[in-house]
Amino acid sequence: MRRIKWAVFLFALVLQCAVFQELIQKPVVTYDGLSLKDPSLSQATLVFRLNVENPNPVGLPVREATYRIRLQEKEFLSGALENIQLSPQAVSRVAIPCTVQYLEFYQSLIDIFREDSLSYHLSGTMKAGPFSILYQAGGKVPLPKPPSIALAGIHVNRIQNTGARVTFSFHLQNRNDFRFEIQGLDFDLTVGEISLASGESKKTTSLENEMTTLDLPMDISFINLGLSAFQLLSKSSADYRLQGHFYILSPGGKTIPLSFQNSGPVQIRR
């Protein structure tokens, strides 16, 4: 008799669950993209965004939201989110954060700068009400970019028979969304096929996400460079080739050189 009662009870329970599933609709999980929080040269917090649409007139609790993250085809992080409540007939936003140290995947900052992005794959299960909803997405995480440099202008402050006082104006561009600091730079500059100047700056320069101008005054000797340098500085423009190194701090506090080169036309003003 007791077995019969248990069988009837279990049958009723299964029937209620089946009826419940027919009465409510399955929520829909969509991937809404990736954002970077607190990015720097060495790390960033990746925030994966999910939209969970609950079409039902009642709220649904999420019993468990699991996630699995792979970076560069390697297992990186897995876990579960708790205490998620889906509002009735609304889209609830769920964020999955994880902090990535770039040097876990690359040997040095130089290697990071050589790459454009880090591949990722996100997957998991959202258990809401009686439903288990699978989701997955993939894409690229943008990596930090090195600064760029260009010769913006040459200003001849003073010119004499034996030499000239010249200011070289360089444009430094930070192509990241965070502040970038360089500890100095060195350069070799060729203008109009003349090796016009070599120099360095030991000034620490903080680069925001905008163009920064660095002015370096130098003395040019016509005795060493000859008449061609005098004739060059008498022109209104010329082509240049620039190469050298930025000096930046690695995450371990060591100063490392980062090579650069650029070329193009430049205006010469007096």
Give 176's DSSP letter.
S
Residues in a beta bridge with 186: 200, 245
185 with 241, same domain: the answer is: yes
Residue 3 covered by a domain: no
189 with 251, same domain: the answer is: yes
Number of separate domains in the chain: 2
Residue-wise pLDDT for 89-141, tens only, equals: 999 999 999 999 999 999 888 899 999 999 999 999 999 989 999 999 999 99
Query: How far apart (Å, rounded) are the C-alpha atoms in residues 70 and 10?
Result: 41
Residue 6 covered by a domain: no
What residue numbers bound the domain in which 69 lies? Answer: 26-142
Query: How far apart (Å, rounded) are the C-alpha atoms in residues 27 and 213?
Result: 53
pLDDT higher at 114 or 19: 114
pTM value?
0.78
Residue 203 covered by a domain: yes
pLDDT at 19: 47
Q: End-to-end alpha-carbon separation of the chain, Å?
A: 109
pLDDT at 15: 35
108 with 154, same domain: the answer is: no
Task: Give the CATH number for residue 45.
Answer: 2.60.40.10
Q: Residue 269 above 60 pLDDT?
A: yes
Strands (E), the chain: 28-37, 43-54, 60-71, 74-81, 84-86, 90-101, 117-128, 131-142, 148-159, 163-173, 180-182, 184-191, 194-201, 205-207, 211-221, 237-249, 255-269
52 with 109, same domain: the answer is: yes
pLDDT at 108: 86
pLDDT at 254: 84
135 with 30, same domain: the answer is: yes
Q: Residue 28 above 50 pLDDT?
A: yes
157 with 262, same domain: the answer is: yes
183 with 156, same domain: the answer is: yes
131 with 155, same domain: the answer is: no
Q: Which of 122, 142, 162 is a domain's end point?
A: 142
pLDDT at 21: 52
Residue 17 covered by a domain: no
138 with 154, same domain: the answer is: no
81 with 171, same domain: the answer is: no
183 with 247, same domain: the answer is: yes
Residue-wise pLDDT for 152-168, tens only, equals: 999 999 999 899 999 99
Q: Which of 142, 157, 172 is a domain's end point?
A: 142
Task: Give the CATH number for residue 156.
Answer: 2.60.40.1820
Q: Which of 112, 142, 172 is a domain's end point?
A: 142
| Cβ atoms of 140 and 124 closer than 8 Å | no
pLDDT class for 187, splitting at 50, 70, 90? very high
Location of structure tokens 């880090």: 118
Q: Residue 35 above 50 pLDDT?
A: yes
156 with 119, same domain: the answer is: no
